Structure 1
Amino acid sequence: MALNPSRSAFASTCTGLRRCSAPAHSVAHCRQLSSSAARNNDPFSVLTETVERQPQPVKRQPQPVERQAEFQQHERPRWSYTPERMKGPGFSLNIVKDPRRTIWRNNDDPAKVDAMYNRLLGTNGEKMLPDEIKWLAITHKSFDQGRRGFNTRLAYFGFGRLIVSLEATRNIMVMPALGAQDSPIQDPFNREPFQHPALANADKLSSRQPQDMVQKDKMAKLAIDVGLAEVIRWKPRMPENLDQSGITVVLNTAVFAIIGAISLQHGAETAHRVVRERILRRVGA
Structure 2
Amino acid sequence: MASRTASRPLQCVLKRVRPSCECSSIRTSSIRQFSASRSRAEQSETDRDQRPRWSYTPEEMKAPFPWKPQDPSKVFECNEDPEKLDRFYVNFLGRGGDTMLADEVKWLAITHKSFDQGRRGFNDRLAFFGRRILTLQTNLALLNSPTTATRTHVGGNPSDDRIPFLHPALEGIENLSSAPVGEILTKERLSALATQVGMREIMRWQPRLVNKLDHSGIDVILTTCMYAIIGAIALHRGGAVANEVAREKILKPLGVS
Question: Does TM-score exceed 0.5, indicating one fold?
Answer: yes
Q: 1:189 to 1:177 in 2, by over 3 A?
A: closer
Percent identical: 44
Name stretches of at least 5 consecutive residues in structure 1 with no aligned partner: 1-59
CA RMSD of aligned residues (A): 1.9
Residue 82 of structure 2 corresponds to which residue in structure 1? Answer: 110
Q: 1:228 aligns with which of 199, 216, 224?
A: 199
Q: 2:66 aligns with which of 81, 91, 105?
A: 91
Residue 179 of structure 1 and its aligned partner are, at CA, apart by 2.2
Q: TM-score scaled by structure 1? A: 0.73
Residue 45 of structure 2 corresponds to which residue in structure 1? Answer: 70
CA distance in 1, matches of 2:166, 2:255: 31
Residue 90 of structure 1 and its aligned partner are, at CA, apart by 2.1
Whether the 8 Å contact between 2:93 and 2:249 is mirrored in structure 1 is yes
> Are 1:160 and 2:130 an aligned pair?
yes
The Cα offsets for residues 235-260 of structure 1, whole Å up to 9 and x where unpaired, read as 10000100111100101111111100
Q: 2:187 aligns with which of 202, 216, 231?
A: 216
> Are 1:175 and 2:145 an aligned pair?
yes
Residue 70 of structure 1 and its aligned partner are, at CA, apart by 0.7
Q: 1:284 to 1:72 in 2, by over 3 A?
A: same
Residue 117 of structure 2 corresponds to which residue in structure 1? Answer: 145
> Aligned AA for 1:175?
S
Name stretches of at least 5 consecutive residues in structure 2 with no aligned partner: 1-33
CA distance in 1, matches of 2:147, 2:160: 26
Residue 196 of structure 1 and its aligned partner are, at CA, apart by 2.8
Deviates more, 1:239-248 or 1:84-93: 84-93
Q: 1:189 to 1:131 in 2, by over 3 A?
A: closer
Deviates more, 1:111-120 or 1:208-217: 208-217
The Cα offsets for residues 258-279 of structure 1, whole Å up to 9 and x where unpaired, read as 1000000011111000011111
Residue 215 of structure 2 aligns to a residue whose secondary structure is: helix
Q: In terms of Rg, which structure is larger?
A: 1
Residue 189 of structure 1 and its aligned partner are, at CA, apart by 4.2
CA distance in 2, matches of 1:189, 1:283: 39
Residue 83 of structure 1 and its aligned partner are, at CA, apart by 0.6
Residue 246 of structure 2 corresponds to which residue in structure 1? Answer: 275
Residue 201 of structure 2 aligns to a residue whose secondary structure is: helix
CA distance in 1, matches of 2:195, 2:103: 22
Matches within 5 A, 1:121-132: 121-132=93-104
Residue 29 of structure 2 corresponds to which residue in structure 1? Answer: none
> Are 1:200 and 2:171 an aligned pair?
yes
CA distance in 2, matches of 1:235, 1:195: 53
> Aligned AA for 1:92?
W
User: Number of aligned pairs?
Assistant: 220
Q: 2:91 aligns with which of 119, 125, 135?
A: 119
CA distance in 2, matches of 1:225, 1:196: 40
Residue 14 of structure 2 corresponds to which residue in structure 1? Answer: none
Q: 1:246 aligns with which of 192, 198, 217?
A: 217
CA distance in 2, matches of 1:187, 1:226: 49
Whether the 8 Å contact between 1:238 and 1:244 is mirrored in structure 2 is yes
CA distance in 2, matches of 1:121, 1:86: 34
Residue 5 of structure 2 corresponds to which residue in structure 1? Answer: none
CA distance in 2, matches of 1:205, 1:189: 26
The Cα offsets for residues 131-174 of structure 1, whole Å up to 9 and x where unpaired, read as 00000111110011100100111111xx2001111111111111
